[in-house]
Amino acid sequence: MRLTYFALMPWRYLPDDFREKHRSVWVDIDRRLYDPAKGHVLYNEYMDLLEHAETLGFDGLGCNEHHQNAYGLMPSPNLIAAALARRTSRAALVVLGNSIALYNPPTRVAEEFAMLDNISGGRLVAGFPVGTSMDTNYTYGQIPALTREKYAEAHELIMRAWREDEPFAFNGRYTKLRYVNVWPKPLQQPHPPIHIPGGGSVETYDFCIRNTYCYSYLSYYGYVRAKALMQAYWERVAELGADDSPYRAGFAQVVCVGETDAEAERLYAEHVNYFYNRCLHIHPGFADAPGYRTIKTIKMGALAQYGRRPKWENLTWKNLLDDAFVIAGSPATVRDKLDELIKTLRVGNLYLLLHIGDMPADKAMHSARLFAEKVMPALRRHWPDYAGDGRFWCHPLEHRARPAPLAQAQGVA
């Protein structure tokens, strides 16, 4: 089992009447709600939490890319990963990921990921999302119906740039380069393991299976609702004749751990409510630009999460737990639910959203510590038959360079 502490980095100060006074947390979020002095503290606290997660024994530290979004303060996850590369020494840096259709030229991603892999000594797990419609179309202006074609071309370019040692000309429709010759090379050869965040586009299944990438379903709607989608993925894996290693799949889950079920509710209910109530308050007109999804995907009816959305402004803690949007409670409760999640979805990679909404750092730390001490050991018992499957995780150098102590550096100056 690979357990990644996944950070969203939400803005913690959306007002109580956010839903009533503002139409969207994303794209045209009111900039007057942002206070850079508070941002300074938040970034540092969130990075503390990530760094602490390594100490707690998490396998990976996860970050992702969102733009103009008050629940995701990481337009550039690579900046966060770069800082983590220096302050941590063991955990994988799981960057889920860089939206490769947005970079011009996309070789920029090949370069930056190679830098991260070099700096960290081969600890990078690289993600290539298409990106949400809010990010890709409405914020970054990509034409919806052309986004997937541009993504596919960017992917081809990046993979060739990582694999080929001779400079080559790339005559793409969206990118034309006379000399592709990316320097530095990734430390992991021929390239770092790749996780593809998917949101229910059926084309992504085949793409992952054919390329031996991990299909990572990032959802805020819990594992019960994810079952049909993941089942369809595993059916496709079988159809294409690929092996059934659970490491081919990953899932993101909101998790809150208390000493008891009652403590979990007392400590975390308000922050979970903040997340579902305010952070997911997205103008429906930004949710799904026409042309962004393929007709095939729409026909699959996989749009439940954007179309007929549950109305969570009225959801209680009990509703959220009953529907398993959130897994919360005592270590035993959380363990049982996660066992069920891991088995029913057949996932080897779990991205744990242990900080949620406007949760203060001390509570997030408490939850993560209980998770690490009392839940994590049990989860590690899963998938012993696939322990040797190294295709979907990073392979760091055995002996890695460490940052010099600061005092020494000051001495030099």
Closest CA to 331 of 380, 372, 271, 360: 372
397 near another protein, judged by CB under 8 A: no
Q: Which stretch binds another protein (CB under 8 A): 54-62, 225-233, 286-294, 321-329?
A: 286-294
Applying CB under 8 A, which of residues 291, 336, 363, 369 lies at the interface with another protein?
291
CA–CA distance, 2 with 94 (Å, rounded to integer): 11
Least distance (Å) from another protein to the CB of residue 265?
32
Contact 123, 54 (CB under 8 A): no
Q: What angle do CA 17, 279, 359 make, to 5 degrees?
A: 95
Quick one: which segment of 273-281, 292-300, 325-333, 355-363 binds another protein (CB under 8 A)?
A: 292-300
By the 8 A CB rule, do 357 and 215 touch? Answer: no
Of the ranges 82-90, 222-230, 299-307, 381-389, which one interacts with another protein (CB under 8 A)? Answer: 299-307
Residue 335, both tokens: 């363990």
Distance between CA atoms of residues 169 and 172, nearest Å: 9
Instruction: Tell me the closest approach of the beta carbon of residue 223 to another protein, in angstroms.
Output: 23
Binding to another protein, residues 302-361 (CB under 8 A): 303, 307-308
Q: How many angstroms separate the CA atoms of 211 and 118, rounded? A: 23
Asked if 176 is part of the footprint of another protein (rule: CB under 8 A), the reply reads no
- How many helices (H) and strands (E) the chain has is answered by 15, 11
Residue 138 lies near another protein (rule: CB under 8 A): yes
- Using CB under 8 A as the binding rule, whether residue 283 contacts another protein is answered as yes
Q: How many residues bind another protein (CB under 8 A)?
A: 25
In the complex, what is the shortest distance from the CB of residue 6 to another protein, in angstroms, rounded to a whole number? 29
Asked whether position 374 contacts another protein by CB under 8 A, the answer is no
Q: ∠ CA 29-32-33 to the nearest 5 degrees?
A: 70
The residue (of 28 and 261) whose beta carbon lies closer to another protein is 28
Q: How far is the CB of 299 from another protein (least distance, A)?
A: 7
CB of 302 to another protein, least distance (A): 11
DSSP single-letter state for residue 226: H
84 residue type, one letter: L
Structure tokens, 318? 């009990």
Is 411 a binding residue for another protein by CB under 8 A? The answer is no
Residue 361, class by beta-carbon neighbours within 10 Å (0-12 exposed, 13-18 middle, 19+ buried)? middle
Q: For residues 66 and 77, what is the distance between their CA atoms, to the nearest angstrom?
A: 9
Does the footprint of another protein cover residue 299 (CB under 8 A)? yes
For the segment 31-70, give every residue that binds another protein (CB under 8 A): none
Determine if 298 is a binding residue for another protein (CB under 8 A): yes
Where along the sequence are the contacts to another protein (CB under 8 A)? 137-138, 141, 143-146, 149, 173, 283-286, 289-293, 295, 298-299, 301, 303, 307-308
